[in-house]
Copies of this chain bind each other. A is one copy, B any other.
Amino acid sequence: MIVNMSDQATQLQIAHVVDRIRELGYQAHITQGAERTIIAAVGSSGRRSELEALKAAPGVDDVVAIAHPFKLVSRQARGARSVVDVGGVCIGGPEAIVIAGPCSVESREQIFSTARAVKAAGACMLRGGAYKPRTSPYEFQGLGVEALSLLREAGDETGLPVVTEVMGTEDVDVISEYADMLQVGARNMQNFVLLRRLARVDKPVLLKRGPSATVKEWLLAAEYLLSGGNTQVVLCERGIKTFETEMRNTLDLAAVALARELSHLPVIADPSHGTGKRELIAAASRAAIAIGADGIIVEVHPCPERALSDGPQSLDFAGFESLMLDLQKPLRAVFNPAARSVVAR
């Protein structure tokens, strides 16, 4: 931490800050600048947020953090990248993975037909909501345990491990019985009670980035899981909230690359929520893989225009098949200027 004293700070105020830094178990290094004094707090006593409170001390302008606040999730904490095994599917390994399925499980027929279609097209995991976080209380809230049971059956029949969202601590046990992976939704990314509970579960967790969470906050949410004992964590970028209104969210693909720079955890992307527009999903999926994502999670529905949730951003079966083909296509070639001499001005 750097304590940046005001240019009018007195010697007494400087001494006071130095004392407090030492009291908190850090060393204080003073640099007397042309206009102002800065004091570096050196060490790692773990009372970081108390250091930050010095912002409130007289004569202090600002307190600036130097080191990142996360530990276990950081790339340095581990020699190699983490690989998370979900029912035999390795996320974070050499190959990218594709998770697909409906936003909500709506009926036996819907989830079975979808499971078969996405399996046939090449998906390796099945998604489907049983408990749905909905902005309005008047919208479809999910089928609950019935949905869990259908999802499990569909996953078993097709050989696809299943992932579903857990909205509260009460549901952790029952969902753990049915699902291979538990998803923390974007709006629950900083539901710390839920994170602490999931830290004690022996199931992989898919942690979505909150719509207004910085990459740092996202990694700190993951730190709750790791520091509580669960190291099977996969991060998922699903778009952030910006001023743009043509798309549901702004898919922050560079954050996928950044999260992989800062952390050893696998990172996947959700182009369905990330764009909210069916017609952009294939392109965004390719870009996600190109930027280094360990996989994608995509919404697929037998008949999107009749979906009880997220219809506009769901692919139908043909759309998903075509997406899977798109993922095989090579990158567009780059113009070779050597050939340009021929057509030169």
The reply on A261 being an interface residue by CB < 8 A is yes
B48 touches A40 (CB 8 A): no
Option from B33, B53, B191 in Cβ contact (under 8 Å) with A306: B53
What DSSP secondary structure best describes chain A's contact surface?
Answer: mixed
Q: Flag A319-345 by CB within 8 Å of B: 1 or 0 each.
A: 000001001111111111100110111
A220 touching B135, Cβ below 8 Å: yes
Instruction: Tell me if B286 and A290 are in contact (CB < 8 A).
Output: yes
CB contact between A53 and one of B20, B284, B312 (< 8 Å): that residue:
B312
B95/A335 in contact, CB under 8 A? yes
What is the interface size of chain A, counting residues whose CB is below 8 A from a CB of the partner?
Answer: 144
Copies in the complex: 4
Contact check, A305 vs B87: say whether CB atoms are below 8 A apart.
Answer: no
Q: Is A49 a contact of B95 with CB atoms below 8 Å? A: no
- CB neighbours of A287 from chain B (8 A): 253-254, 287-288, 290-291
Please state if A34 and B38 are interface contacts (CB–CB under 8 Å). no
Q: Pick the contact of A337 from B123, B138, B243 — CB < 8 Å?
A: B123
Taking a contact as CB atoms under 8 Å apart, the answer to whether B53 and A305 are in contact is yes
Q: Nearest CB to that of A70 among chain B residues?
A: B136
Rounded to whole Å, the gap between the CB of A231 and the closest CB of chain B is 14
Is A97 within 8 A of B254, CB to CB?
Answer: no
Asked whether A31 and B34 contact (CB < 8 A) given A254-B274, A280-B258, the answer is: no
Contact B305 A20 (CB under 8 A): yes
A58 to chain B, nearest CB (A): 8
